[in-house]
Amino acid sequence: MALFARLRLQFTHLRHHINFSTSPLSSKSKTRATLSLLKSETNPEKILEICRSASLTPYAHIDRITLSVAIDKLAKSNNFSYIDDLLTDLRTSRPDLRTVRFAAHSIILYGQAGMLDHAIRLFKEYHEKNQNDAVLTSGSVKLLNALLFSCILAKKHDEVKRVFVDFSQRYKIEPNLETFNTVIQSFCESGSSSSCYSVLNEMDTKGVKPNETTFGHLFAGFYSEEKYEDVGTVSKMIEEDYGINAGIGVYNIRIHSLCKLKRAKEAKVLLEGCLSKGIEPNGVTYSHLILGFCMEGDMEEAKRLFMSMENRGCQPAYSCYATLVYFLGKVGDFESAYWVCKESMGKKMVPNISTMKILVQGLASSGELDKAKELIGEVKGRFSKNIELWNEVEAGLPQ
């Protein structure tokens, strides 16, 4: 009863912010209230009760997030039996969840929790039923793909090849593009990118054409292993062998990979290549590059890219603003950091308190006390979070 009282309080609070007090709460609003409860709950039995009471489904994005949060909290507190109880209960007690789709989602959640043995058990259960025509008539490849991804989430990359080979043969499952892409992803994330060539050969044999996702994984893997000759091979292969015109998504992966290796100048050359081909960069492109140059200490280039980004109509994300404010503050360019921060706050995006603390203390120590107090006053006036911490910061400034 206490749980339902808490849910009602959450729903009442939400209703207060809806224009019409008589408006019924949408399922999304109810799920947000559930998510809020889960984030503050530590008792595993109450976490299960909250999830069971919320009528979550895998069909709504926010519901999937909520269920994932619950599984993550239970796994981090080593309450693995509760995870199995929750997923088993949902599958067996609710007719709307006795589906291949929810079974696939459960397999993935088991992987997220590191419970790969349970994921495999559920996969086998469904296929044994299928052999008796009890449940499955199709969709087994969906469960295979879920199990492969579950292996990745559980960081059991050695299991991916076994599951792919043994289970597809044993249960007569024909792999599709998603299957092959997941296997390639695993090889690339586990330092075995060269093994992907044999997967590409098998795809050719089966008439499955790779797509941009395939090559995105390949680029990320070969860059991570610093196999630049293979990067060149894949670059040639994508256009000449498969006739794929790589879009900005593939270029973003390449740019990000180079920036992580502190090769931001080479990443910028890729950006220039995009522009010459008429491929428009997006906010993600610039965010990767700006972080890359910041990590290498080239703040002037980072600022130029930020200006270029805005001139091209790309809207900076929170991470882009936060990155610039942090690194500009670290190198003592408090004036530039101040203006970037002001723009960010004007869009209701405030860098975290540790970054802001560097900025306001830096402004104060460089003779810009008024600007420091202005930022603190704006944060306190518009955002109620961490007011006590901000009071402490303000009290520590020179008077």
**Rounded (5°) CA angle 105-109-114:** 150
Residue spans of the chain under pLDDT 70: 1-26, 129-139, 384, 399
What is the predicted pLDDT for the residue at 26? Answer: 62
What does the CA dihedral 197, 198, 199, 203 come to, rounded to 10 degrees? 100
What is the predicted pLDDT for the residue at 12? Answer: 45
Phi, psi of 161 (to 5 degrees): -65, -40
Cβ atoms of 72 and 80 closer than 8 Å: no
Sequence-distant (≥ 6) Cβ neighbours of residue 24 within 8 angstroms: none
Comparing CA positions, the residue from 69, 61, 1 lying closest to residue 34 is 69
Tokens 């909520």: give the residue: 66
Amino acid at 105: H
Q: Return the sign of the alpha-carbon dihedral for residues 253, 257, 262, 265.
A: negative
**Rounded (5°) CA angle 54-56-57:** 165
Comparing CA positions, the residue from 230, 181, 185, 172 lying closest to residue 208 is 181
CA-based diameter of the chain, in Å? 80
> How far is the C-alpha of 85 from the C-alpha of 237, rounded, in Å?
48
Cβ atoms of 108 and 150 closer than 8 Å: yes
Cβ atoms of 221 and 187 closer than 8 Å: yes
Amino acid at 360: V
What is the predicted pLDDT for the residue at 129? Answer: 66
What is the predicted pLDDT for the residue at 18? Answer: 34
